[in-house]
Amino acid sequence: MANELRPCPCGIGDRFDYEGCGQEVQVEHIKAYVCKPASTDKAVIVIHDIFGWQLPNTRYMADMLAANGYIAICPDFFAGKEPWKPSDDWSKFDDWLKTRDARKINKEADAVLKYLKEQCGAKKLGVVGFCWGGVAVHHLMMTYPELKAGVSLYGLIKDSDDISNLLNPTFFIFAEKDDFIPLHQVTLLEQKLKKNCKVDYEVKIYPGQTHGFVHRKREDINPQDKPYIEEGRKDMINWLNKYV
């Protein structure tokens, strides 16, 4: 059973010791981390988890995408509000989360899309997100047709959620041993997608993995985990390469 004192899974995992290769910029009312390859018109929005846009792990993911030929931008989707800290009181997490709704980010998304198109020359756009950011990906992929591909990594889903009305191809990454996303919810998601979704999608469960494994688990932490961590990252990039 999940630890009742920790209602969000993002407390699991490692904080990478990583500096980042990109730079911080101002995008209208929010700040963002940007990493650019030499020349490309392809861009990916990278959406952080509850620990915010400055978490080294998420910047590591952005830099990985840039190394694969994408302008990668990780904006502050909390719009200046404090990210969650591991030392915060988990009993107050639900109240904290109410002021940071992953489905109410259109103002920030509009600013970032405008920046990518006008300042970076981006013509082909995708989005990836982790945990809280995975939920944000669900929302954006049902809202913005210019996002040609989405990858949602362990975005929390509820039985009542219907995220099958996707506008473009979306890949869903889940962990088999995720205490916070029961496999029956993943099965229900697959059933809804199969029945209603009109675009390409894939739902994949990675054996033996726990929540956050793609960006919150070090490759060297456990030998049997390394192949799945690397596979999750490769699958993310391959999906973007296929559709963006």
Rg (CA), the chain: 17
> Of 131, 215, 225, 235, which residue is the catalytic one?
131
Give per-residue burial for 193-220: e unless 16+ CB within 10 Å, then b. beeebeeebebebbeebbbbbbbbbeee
> Of 63, 178, 225, 235, which residue is the catalytic one?
178
What are the tokens at 68? 């694969």
Catalytic residue list contains 29: no
> Of 48, 138, 139, 211, which residue is the catalytic one?
211
Q: Where are the alpha helices (DSSP H) in the chain?
A: 56-67, 93-98, 106-119, 132-141, 183-196, 213-216, 226-243
Catalytic residue list contains 17: no
Catalytic residue list contains 131: yes
Cα dihedral 134/115/16/37 (nearest 10): 120
> How many other CB atoms sit within 10 Å of the CB of residue 38?
6
Q: How far apart are CA 186 and CA 83, in angstroms?
A: 27
Return the active site residues.
131, 178, 211
